[in-house]
Amino acid sequence: MPNYRNIKEKLIELLLSTASITALLILIGIFVFLFITGIRTFTEISPTEFFLGNEWNPTAYGEPKWGILSLVIGTIIVTFGSLVIAIPLGIASAVYLSEIAKPKIRETIKPVIEMIAGIPSVVLGLIGILFLSPLIAKIFGLSSGLNAFTSSIIVGVMVLPTIISISEDVLTSLPNEFRESSLALGATKWQMIRMTLLPAALSGIVAAIMLGLGRAVGETMGVLMVAGNSRAMPISFFDPIRPMTANIAIEIKEVVKGSLHYEALFAIGLVLFVMTFVVNFISDIIIEKQVRKYKW
């Protein structure tokens, strides 16, 4: 009887631990498949041309161009633009929700913000095409509103819930003594927030921004539908652009499997993977720091 019991316990543990390795295998699998396909690109194209060439035109007759610099810059512009919108709005909303709003208002608004997170990006992209871009074109007198600026707004809205909910969690988890001791010294509520809470929550808020940044870099539909898809090197915020994600989505269906073009798209995927991996890794370390400080 005890023997049978021990065997059963061991079998269940084995089953559960096997399941838990799946996640690790997926991550390794993603890296390996991107790597073995993507790396073959560099047997024919030099890394210098790939990373520093500013023209991407793999299907050009006779002389294809393989430089991803303009795509990378597209990604950087949209990421930057979306964060410029989402960071101030996100932190302000988090402070409002955790410190200022009455409980009833907070409990109404929080689900609404979770709902924004639940709207599929393709729907936000649709709003970008049908509503926002004509509006932007009209306001700024452009021929087309499908550009980096409009796309930044859409991606900013997508990133916003991430920044709000994580920053709010960090603020709420700060010990109440911070608030009480600060108010007891005669600080106003705003002084308490500015001089006590925000500094204490700083690393957590930075982590929230990093996670938002990771999402913005990887966002596809919000740029594919709204950013204008031009491969030319952008000069201003109102130029149409084509970030890396959009480029993969546009071209992957058309390419011949196993061709150099196919491999090059995987190489772009690998660049994206590494970028988001690094961003997430850093935010992970920062969150760990915040957790250790305040048991968040």
| Partners of residue 66 on adjacent β-strands | 56
Report if residue 107 touches another protein, rule: CB under 8 A: no
Nearest residue (CB) to another protein, 193 versus 235: 193
Of 90, 62, 99, nearest in space to 209 by CA: 90
| DSSP secondary structure, 155-222, as one string | HHHHHHHHHHHHHHHHHHTS-HHHHHHHHHTT--HHHHIIIIIHHHHHHHHHHHHHHHHHHHHH--HH
Nearest distance from residue 63's CB to another protein, in Å? 26
Q: How many CB atoms lie within 10 A of CB 61?
A: 6
Determine which residue in the list 47, 284, 292, 293 makes contact with another protein, applying CB under 8 A: 284
Report if residue 184 touches another protein, rule: CB under 8 A: no
Report if residue 173 touches another protein, rule: CB under 8 A: no
- Compute the half-sphere exposure of residue 69: CA atoms within 13 Å on the CB side of its CA: 13
| Partners of residue 241 on adjacent β-strands | 228
Per-residue mark of binding to another protein, 194-233 (x: CB under 8 A): -----------------x--xx-xxxxx--xx--------
Residues 65-84 that bind another protein (CB under 8 A): none
Report if residue 12 touches another protein, rule: CB under 8 A: yes
Report if residue 97 touches another protein, rule: CB under 8 A: yes
Determine which residue in the list 280, 289, 294, 296 makes contact with another protein, applying CB under 8 A: 280
Cα separation, 59 vs 42, whole angstroms: 18
- Assess contact for 218 and 269: CB atoms under 8 A: no
Of 44, 53, 49, 47, nearest in space to 73 by CA: 53
Report if residue 23 touches another protein, rule: CB under 8 A: yes
Residues 139-168 that bind another protein (CB under 8 A): 157, 160, 164
Stretch that binds another protein, among 23-31, 57-65, 177-185, 197-205 (CB under 8 A): 23-31
Report if residue 256 touches another protein, rule: CB under 8 A: no
